[in-house]
Amino acid sequence: MSDILEGYAKSATPEFIARYNELDCAEVYAPLLDLLPQTPVRIADIGAGTGRDAAWFAAAGHRVLAVEPVKELRESGMRGHISPNIEWLDDKMPTLKKAQNYGRFDLITLCGVWQHIEDRDRQLAMQSLGRMAASGGKMVMSLRHGPAPLDRPVFSICPDETIERAKQCGFSLLRRVETGSIQVGNRALGVNWTWLAFQMTDPSI
């Protein structure tokens, strides 16, 4: 995991950050857009990057905990997306030790994050997420399939295994959608995504 974080730190150029921020959040979340909360709630954005999604949620009135372990991305987000509705936190998976101290959240988002977690750590990571989800709260995550830059490696993901892990931690599946990449370059490389939406139905697990 440390190698991946170092890779993101080295890649955090103004051009990289601008390209990340330019993506339209409504287009990114289109497969699950109707499942997102319409009234203000507490959101934990895990792997918040430069804060693109956090800022989008904050602008809609939500209170967002933006969890990002890469200093260069986190500081860029703090400078570029100033909002009283965003609180930044230096924390990382699989344990999310600090984030768990913030209580439970109505929505947890992991956009382009899960593929960076090694298989051996995914069960612990899911357990940590389960402890952060409010009863009835939702979790949405995108699973990347396909090649990635050498300095930001990804690990293969089986959606069915991810769904089963989530179920073991109290989540029920709401939706599964397979999509192509919205980025032209990634689409040309054959990158595609599986979007999953869950609801916490048994927080006692």
pLDDT of residue 115: 92
Element spanning 64, H or E? strand 63-67
Backbone dihedral angles phi then psi of residue 7, each to the nearest 5 degrees: -65, -40
**Looking at residue 55, what is its pLDDT?**
98
Beta strands 133-145 and 192-200, pairing class = antiparallel
The pLDDT assigned to 150 comes to: 67
Per-residue pLDDT of the chain (205 residues; tens, 9 = 90+): 677 788 888 888 999 899 889 999 999 999 999 999 999 999 999 999 999 999 999 999 999 999 999 999 999 999 999 999 999 999 999 999 999 999 999 999 999 999 999 999 999 999 999 999 999 999 999 999 987 776 777 889 999 999 999 999 999 999 999 998 787 677 767 788 999 999 999 888 8
Phi and psi, residue 132, nearest 5°: -95, -15
Are 177 and 32 in contact by the 8 Å Cβ rule? The answer is yes
Distance of CA 134 to the CA centre of its chain: 17
pTM for the model stands at: 0.94
